[in-house]
Amino acid sequence: MAGADPDPLPRSVIGRLVAILGSFSPDQPRLTLTQISHLCGLPVTTTYRLLSQAQECGAVIRDADQHYWIGPRIVELAALAPSATTFPAASP
């Protein structure tokens, strides 16, 4: 998702948070607030508010240099996802 043309501005909180988390990539595992805001196409104030809330629940962490990283809670949740070979069929 990072580096791609941004989708239209997500309207829901969940959509905005997924856009924020999707801005991280293996090539860019740590990002500044401004970088995340730019990659998501969200206002800096909105991005900051959502990152602060995500930080409270461990979805992101912020280091001493004010860079954000994917947090341990996301790693814990990702470990629960089925693998690509056992992924269940989508329901209609």
Model pLDDT, residue 88: 67
Does residue 59 lie within any of the structural domains?
yes
Radius of gyration of the chain (CA): 14
Q: How many domains does the chain have?
A: 1
What CATH number has the domain bearing residue 32?
1.10.10.10
Alpha-carbon gap, residue 52 to 32, rounded angstroms: 13
Does residue 83 lie within any of the structural domains?
no
Does residue 89 lie within any of the structural domains?
no
Does residue 68 lie within any of the structural domains?
yes
CA angle 8, 1, 84 (to 5 degrees): 120
Does residue 20 lie within any of the structural domains?
yes
Does residue 88 lie within any of the structural domains?
no
In degrees and rounded to multiples of 5, residue 70 shows phi and psi of: -60, 135
For residue 72, the cross-strand partners are none
Structural domain that includes position 36: 13-76
CB 6 within 8 A of CB 39: yes
Alpha-carbon gap, residue 83 to 21, rounded angstroms: 20
In this prediction the pTM is 0.78
Does residue 50 lie within any of the structural domains?
yes
Q: For each of the chain's 92 residues, which pLDDT tens digit applies? A: 454 445 566 679 999 999 999 999 999 999 999 999 999 999 999 999 999 999 999 999 999 999 999 999 999 999 988 876 776 666 66
